[in-house]
Amino acid sequence: MVTITLTNDEHRLLVNALRSFLTDFGHDEADVVREVQRLLTRLSTAQTDLAPAAE
């Protein structure tokens, strides 16, 4: 397993880049599309975990 630490800005950039990859380049490879979507889901969950707790 590889672990990287991202700032909130880096996380936002990565999510936007992956979304652009899916929409702008129109990849037909179903396995690539599934993996990118899975990664976006995981990144979304990670962002939720990083959100500051309500006071």
pLDDT of 51 > 80? The answer is no
| Residue 55: band (very low, low, confident or very high) from pLDDT cuts 50, 70, 90 | very low
| Confidence label for 49 from pLDDT (cuts 50, 70 and 90) | low
Q: Where are the alpha helices (DSSP H) in 1-55?
A: 8-24, 30-50
Q: Residue holding tokens 């990664």?
A: 39
List the domain boundaries for the chain. 8-49
Please give the C-alpha separations between residue 34 and each of 8, 22, 29, 37, 39, in angstroms, as whole numbers: 24, 10, 9, 5, 9
Residues 6+ apart with CB under 8 A from 44: 15
Cα–Cα distance for residue pair 6/34, rounded to 1 Å = 23
